[in-house]
């Protein structure tokens, strides 16, 4: 076989002939005998399958991790792994805290492996085809904050592709993300908004996000009363929505302009800049200009023309331009 390969490669050199005698075999055995044996693998270690078997195994580990473990003796270990040291593999009875913690670890490692795989667009299509979006939806409601965070990150990566976004719309993943905007875990909330920003890159994503009950109102609330990081992300999400669909209902626009005018007085320059950018989008329409004037945002914008941050000054100038352009025609 090797001679055929060498002939195809066009190699003319003669390979060195290996010794095949008793002494050579002894030297080979002695060389490998001094090496340490492969260490026993902990049962919580997740090993993904190769090729097309990877995504189905990841889905089984997320949905029913006990299908991948040997529970005949009450111990948790992968069926493909034969435990040698009984002391290293204690038994975890059903419904025990130890067993629950180990399953959490397995799911966390599985989600981490999935996130690493999703960096390749080909793996995104494999994940969608194998129904991992529905599994991630279920993990978004997990009691473990780390599992929820990783599931949200994975959904955000899937939303970056057209096929993934279509599957998320079909599986109501956008509703799941919108319902998590009030999650108690800070890191999870931040990743929820980051994933929704990726969803709202397309008109369909914006349409589905706005169709959820009180989704836009919750975004405005988070822009006002959450911590600074979440405020920035919620204002960025609002901007992504308004860029594609500035023609919101009058009540929603009025509500947004009212609160954005108050954000213009925030101490953080990024918040003031995002507020100006959102008002710029809302003031494209004629009634949006009138609402901005009615909410007394013009004096605040004029004041921001002398802001210390150049980005804030530029955003304020752009917003004032949108409000004042064609204003004479509107008044007359």
The residues facing 91 across adjacent strands are: 75
Instruction: Work out the angle at residue 95's Cα, subtended by the Cα atoms of residues 94 and 101, and round it to the nearest 5 degrees.
Output: 100
The answer, as to whether pTM is greater than 0.75, is yes
Residue 88 has pLDDT above 60, yes or no: no
75 or 193: which leads in pLDDT:
193
Please report the pLDDT score of residue 158 as a whole number: 95
Kindly write down the DSSP assignment for every residue of 106-118, as one continuous string. Answer: HHHHHHHHHHHHT
Residue 270 has pLDDT above 80, yes or no: yes
Please report the pLDDT score of residue 42 as a whole number: 54
What is the average per-residue pLDDT within 151-171? Answer: 94
Please report the pLDDT score of residue 45 as a whole number: 53
Residue 71 has pLDDT above 60, yes or no: no
Residue 240 has pLDDT above 90, yes or no: yes
Residue 46 has pLDDT above 70, yes or no: no
pLDDT > 70 in the chain, percent:
83
Please report the pLDDT score of residue 327 as a whole number: 53
Over the stretch 11-24, which tens digit does the pLDDT of each residue have? 777 777 777 788 88
Confidence of residue 288 (pLDDT cuts 50, 70, 90): confident
Q: In this structure, what DSSP letter does residue 78 have?
A: B
Please report the pLDDT score of residue 79 as a whole number: 39
What is the average per-residue pLDDT within 283-294? Answer: 86
Over the stretch 291-304, which tens digit does the pLDDT of each residue have? 888 888 899 999 99
Instruction: Work out the angle at residue 287's Cα, subtended by the Cα atoms of residues 282 and 289, and round it to the nearest 5 degrees.
Output: 60
Give 223-228's long-range contacts (Cβ < 8 A, gap of 24+). Answer: 223/259, 223/260, 223/263, 224/259, 224/262, 224/263, 226/189, 227/186, 228/268, 228/271
Do residues 177 and 199 touch, judged by C-beta distance below 8 A? yes
Cα→Cα distances 278→46, 190, 325, Å:
45, 20, 17
Cα separation of 318 and 281, whole Å? 10
* Mean of the per-residue pLDDT values of the chain: 83
Residue 174 has pLDDT above 90, yes or no: yes
Cα separation of 8 and 92, whole Å? 56
Cα separation of 93 and 100, whole Å? 10
Please report the pLDDT score of residue 105 as a whole number: 81
How many CB atoms within 10 Å of residue 78? 18
Residue 161 has pLDDT above 70, yes or no: yes
Please report the pLDDT score of residue 32 as a whole number: 76
Confidence of residue 76 (pLDDT cuts 50, 70, 90): very low
Token look-up 């996000």 returns 209
Confidence of residue 97 (pLDDT cuts 50, 70, 90): confident
Confidence of residue 253 (pLDDT cuts 50, 70, 90): confident
* Domains, in order of start, for the chain: 41-211 (1.25.10.10), 214-332 (1.25.10.10)
What is the average per-residue pLDDT within 138-157? Answer: 94
DSSP three-state, residue 154: helix
Instruction: Work out the angle at residue 85's Cα, subtended by the Cα atoms of residues 82 and 91, and round it to the nearest 5 degrees.
Output: 80
What is the average per-residue pLDDT within 55-84? Answer: 61
């Amino acid at each position: 076989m090797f001679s055929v390969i060498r002939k195809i490669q066009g190699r003319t050199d003669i390979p060195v002939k290996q010794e095949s005698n008793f002494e050579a075999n002894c030297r080979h055995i002695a060389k490998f005998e001094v090496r340490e044996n492969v260490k026993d693998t902990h049962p919580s270690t997740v090993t993904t399958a190769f090729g097309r078997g990877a995504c189905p195994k990841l889905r089984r580990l997320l949905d029913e991790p006990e299908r991948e473990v040997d529970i005949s003796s009450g111990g948790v270990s992968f069926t493909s792994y034969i435990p040698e040291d009984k002391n290293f593999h204690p038994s975890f009875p059903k419904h025990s805290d130890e067993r629950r913690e180990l399953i959490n670890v397995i799911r966390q490692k599985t989600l981490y492996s999935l996130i690493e795989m999703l960096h390749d667009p080909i793996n995104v299509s494999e994940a969608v085809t194998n129904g991992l979006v529905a599994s991630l939806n279920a993990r978004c409601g997990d009691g473990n904050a780390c599992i929820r965070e990783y599931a949200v990150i994975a959904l955000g990566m899937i939303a970056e592709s057209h096929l993934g976004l279509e599957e998320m719309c079909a599986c109501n993943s956008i509703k799941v993300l919108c319902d998590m905007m009030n999650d108690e875990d800070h890191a999870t909330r931040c990743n929820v908004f980051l994933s929704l920003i990726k969803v709202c890159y397309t008109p369909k994503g914006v349409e589905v996000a706005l169709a959820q009950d009180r989704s836009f109102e919750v975004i405005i609330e988070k822009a006002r009363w959450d911590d600074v990081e979440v405020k920035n992300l919620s204002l960025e999400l609002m901007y992504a929505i308004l860029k594609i669909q500035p023609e919101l209902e009058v009540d929603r626009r009025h509500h947004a302009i009212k609160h954005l005018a108050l954000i213009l007085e925030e101490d953080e320059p990024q918040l003031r800049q995002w507020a100006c950018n959102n008002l710029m989008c809302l003031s494209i329409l004629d009634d949006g200009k009138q609402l901005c004037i009615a909410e007394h945002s013009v004096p605040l914008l004029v004041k921001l023309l002398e802001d210390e941050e150049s980005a804030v000054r530029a955003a304020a100038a752009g917003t004032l331009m949108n409000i004042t352009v064609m204003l004479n025609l509107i008044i007359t």
